[in-house]
Structure 1
Amino acid sequence: MPFIISRVNFPLSDEQETALKAGLGQAISLVPGKSEASLMLGFEDSYHLYLNGENSLPMAYITVAVFSNRCHRGYGQLSAAISQLFHRVLDIDPARIFINYEDIPAWSVADRTFDDKRNGAE
């Protein structure tokens, strides 16, 4: 289950959030074996972000957490797609879009736990 949480330092309109949701749903398929069918998204707007001591320009900090992808396959393509999406929809300069990847070795839902066991997981 991938999880993408986006933080931006200005308010998002419903239309912008919908466009980001759709674009991220498509982009996650750049990671082999991942799809919108299992993607969870979160959006935090008007977040207090500062870059070089300033917060007057639009910026984004995006965390992408992916289960069982130790080799980080598809991350380069996903980064490009996310940057292009946030630039197109929100007019954020790609130099102010930061993407952090987190590996998820285990997760649970509905009393069921998934573990990549780090043996043969990619």
Structure 2
Amino acid sequence: MPFINTNTNVEISDEKREKLKSKLGQAIRILGKSEDWLMLSFEDKCDMYFKGDSSSPMAFVDVSVFGHSDDSACEKMTVELCSIYNDVLGISPDKLYVKYSGSTQWGWNNMNF
């Protein structure tokens, strides 16, 4: 039950949204998760500043999973996310933050796992 939320100051066209959806669906396997349960959210054209500057494309990517992901998998995932966002949105890896969180308290369909 992974969820990836993307906040960026870049405008995401429908075509780019589809590319991100597809690439993130593949990338989530790195964390041992499946696209079958993957939920995505894209918030584009956000007012964002990094180091006091808003002139460059940037993003904050929040990756939440049911359970726990080990450090090695998260390292690999960060490399992959940097590549995806650079390729699709032109965001340099040094303008991208990735946050990972895991929890065993997830609810779905009137129940908790």
TM-score > 0.5, shorter chain as reference: yes
Could you list the runs of 5+ residues in structure 2 that have no partner in the other structure? none
Amino acid at match of 1:111: N
Amino acid at match of 2:109: A
Q: What's the counterpart of residue 93 of structure 1?
A: 92
Distance of aligned partners of 1:106 and 1:72 in 2 relative to their CA distance in 1, 3 Å threshold:
farther
Q: Following TM superposition, where does structure 1 have runs of at least 4 consecutive aligned residues deviating by more than 6 angstroms? A: none
In the superposition, the TM-score normalised over structure 1's length comes to: 0.88
Amino acid at match of 1:51: F
User: Which entry has the higher C-alpha Rg, 1 or 2?
Assistant: 1
Aligned-residue offset at 1:103: 1.3
Matched positions, count? 113
Q: What's the counterpart of residue 60 of structure 2?
A: 61
Q: Contact 2:27–2:77 at 8 Å: present in 1 too?
A: yes
RMSD in angstroms over aligned alpha carbons?
1.2
Could you tell me the percent identity over the aligned residues? 35
In the superposition, the TM-score normalised over structure 2's length comes to: 0.94
Higher helix share: 2
Residue aligned with 1:92, SS: coil
Distance 2:72 2:104 in 1: 15
Mapping of residues 29-40 of structure 1, within 5 Å: 29-32=29-32, 34-40=33-39
Aligned-residue offset at 1:48: 1.2
